[in-house]
Structure 1
């Protein structure tokens, strides 16, 4: 759910937005109002809204100054400017300084609805990118720390990364690669990773599946195969057990 701040010194415009925008369809559950930039900035500091619609030409603090201050407080806020043709050049300049979009007056119901939808799309994309970055950083930490670049732990991790999509990869295969007995590798693995080989492989594969769900449009059976599951139904069941959401539910939620 999102919070929207509307900033304009024309009450009729704010009333119009409140009356004709379908906030429920956009998952906007709170709408704040301000008549000038200074008032808007105080509201912004308190509520940290996700979305902002602001006029450029306002008393006390203009829209561009407000937008700059708001972005400094919350860089990921999505801001669109509402302005007349007389201020078109300012709107273009605003886009170059971090404002996300603009619309020219007079505005229609569709103008505002589409503008908000675009801003929400940018919020969702930013969230997806943050999630992908977190997952990638986690994978890098698993493979690149100094401790893990020496000895068996590093070798095991490298084999796992290489065989993430290999359905046939097993503890016996790993033991053969390391030229050790399967029973010894089983004990060693639990000492190094704090869990069994099978549990660890499932966790790593499902984490990789999350990354693919967030960053690609691959079909579920393609993702399952690419992370070493030969049965898409088993993949979905394992994913839901680990994350309490099915792969499709996770993908849908990431878009919200």
Structure 2
């Protein structure tokens, strides 16, 4: 059975094309529909079609962008562009994206039959009817990257099992399986490198591996090794690094702990840690530390038995005048004024 997706923002045209397709004799097929390119991509990721019939002019994502995305993500899907615009420029762009058929509206029944005959003949000439979905594999790599980075071992194992079961690599030859797994591992390594995680084994070596079980075993072993090395680098702390950094800062507010020291405790590059902290908290390392020091100072000032000079030391300021200046800048009041407002003399 062939799978066909019709993409057009006009309901009547979608229904008309579906009717013509179903009238084609001896064609066993399922037909799905989408209103625009964005919806089409979502449906394609759910279930990869054999053929896509798409309009050019559509809202949200037009047919040309859909063709471009398909050329990148699903180059083996055969695309037919159906448009009411006979502009040669559109046809040229479609050809550059690998589109083989370009039909003008209104499409006749014979036009549809001839087109489907060409598409099915071309599909029949391919050596293998099975192709891996690039978009779905990219999604797997992104999820695996997060699982490794967060040291979520259960999710990591689930993803490894899902890869072997869901994507049905069994339909590929062992050599093609090996190539696909090597590509996946290389992409994962590349993504982790942006997080300053550099695995010891930058390539997945599968030379001479003759069974898919051994190939997947090698991949699983390599991914687990990355996670184990990362955990060791973080000194066994399987926590979110930013949350771990916050906890460390809060525990050492009385000391002048530097960003470099905290990054070293977490096993991260200082520059990368600085960027990660800012992106996650919307505060710089120093801004967060200062805010937490002032929060602690306010709590201590609310307790009459603490002297203000002692509080300044307790929150990391050996220079009392500097503490007073920072507290007023943060709250609008000096420490003594803050106490007075609470009725504490």
Return the TM-score normalized by structure 1.
0.47
Structure with larger Rg: 2
